[in-house]
């Protein structure tokens, strides 16, 4: 599989998620909801590595994409002033995407997946709230919190469908991507986390820890094709070797 094929799978998946959450009024007032290509890549990683990918799996994967869209939309809401029409629409659209997620999952004969995903969503929301309000106690706690927030739903999806051998790589890579984005003050990240007491030193330490962890995990991942290992490294470490 080459990069062009991988990109085609990612874009096809994103279009499927966009169709599932499409709401003309929200699109008109808020614009198109951008979906995270990195999360799409790591969600689809088993399929890209030639694992069997059924219709049920695909529906569940789209549902996870709707969850991520809901998280991202809620993150765009200004927690200090959510009174404007736009802010209220963002809250409603996030709830709308969450409802789509449950509708998609309810179409599958798998009540345990609905339950486990609901529990994970609750855990992610609690972890994010605690980190925003109280901060973290050191680098390791910060890493654990951000890994949970960024990869929790994808890892739960993988656990449910027997793809757990991918999970540690997914956790490390998505955590690393977040810390790179925070270090470079990416606007979507800063909108949520700019007022949080996350120290630059802790971010840099987390990048160092996770980069070493990912290199070790990839070296031991004999089940992954060499090209996918390269792509994982490309997604997860976009700034290594470049001036920041």
Look at the block and give the residue holding tokens 């003050």: 185
B/e letters for 158-180, b = 16+ CB within 10 Å, e = fewer, are bebbebeebbbbbbbbbbbbbbb
34/72 Cα distance (integer angstroms): 9
8 A C-beta contact, residue 65 and residue 35 = yes
Q: Which residue is associated with the tokens 């606007």?
A: 187
Stated as kind and residue range, the H or E segment containing 94 is helix 85-106
Taking only the tens of pLDDT, the chain with its 244 residues reads: 789 999 999 999 999 988 877 654 444 444 555 678 999 999 999 999 999 999 989 988 988 888 887 777 666 654 444 454 444 444 444 454 455 555 666 666 567 777 888 888 888 888 888 887 777 778 999 999 999 999 999 999 999 999 999 999 999 999 999 999 999 988 878 877 776 678 889 999 999 999 999 999 999 999 999 999 999 999 998 765 444 3
Tokens of 31: 């614009």
3-236 — its CATH code?
Answer: 1.10.600.10
Domain residue spans in the chain?
3-236
């Amino acid at each position: 599989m080459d990069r062009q094929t991988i990109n085609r799978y990612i874009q096809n998946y994103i279009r499927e998620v966009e169709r599932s959450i499409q709401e003309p009024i929200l699109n008109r007032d808020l614009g198109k909801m951008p979906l995270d290509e990195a999360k799409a890549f790591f969600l689809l990683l088993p399929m890209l590595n030639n694992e069997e990918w059924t219709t049920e799996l695909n529906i569940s994967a789209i549902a996870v994409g709707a969850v991520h869209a809901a998280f991202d939309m809620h993150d765009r809401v200004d927690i200090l002033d959510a009174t404007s029409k736009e802010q209220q629409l963002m809250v409603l659209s996030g709830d709308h995407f969450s409802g789509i997620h449950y509708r998609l999952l309810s179409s599958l004969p798998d009540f345990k997946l609905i339950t486990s995903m609901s529990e994970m969503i609750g855990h992610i929301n609690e972890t994010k709230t605690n980190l925003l309000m109280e901060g973290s106690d050191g680098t390791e706690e910060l890493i654990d919190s951000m890994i949970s927030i960024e990869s929790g739903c994808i890892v739960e999806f993988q656990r449910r469908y027997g793809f757990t051998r991918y999970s540690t790589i997914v956790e490390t890579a998505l955590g690393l991507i977040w810390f790179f984005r925070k270090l470079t003050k990416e606007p979507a990240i800063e909108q949520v986390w700019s007022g949080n007491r996350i120290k630059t030193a802790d971010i840099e330490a987390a990048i160092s820890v996770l980069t070493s962890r990912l290199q070790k995990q990839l070296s031991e991942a004999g089940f992954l094709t060499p090209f996918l290992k390269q792509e994982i490294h490309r997604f997860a470490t976009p700034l290594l070797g470049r001036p920041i």
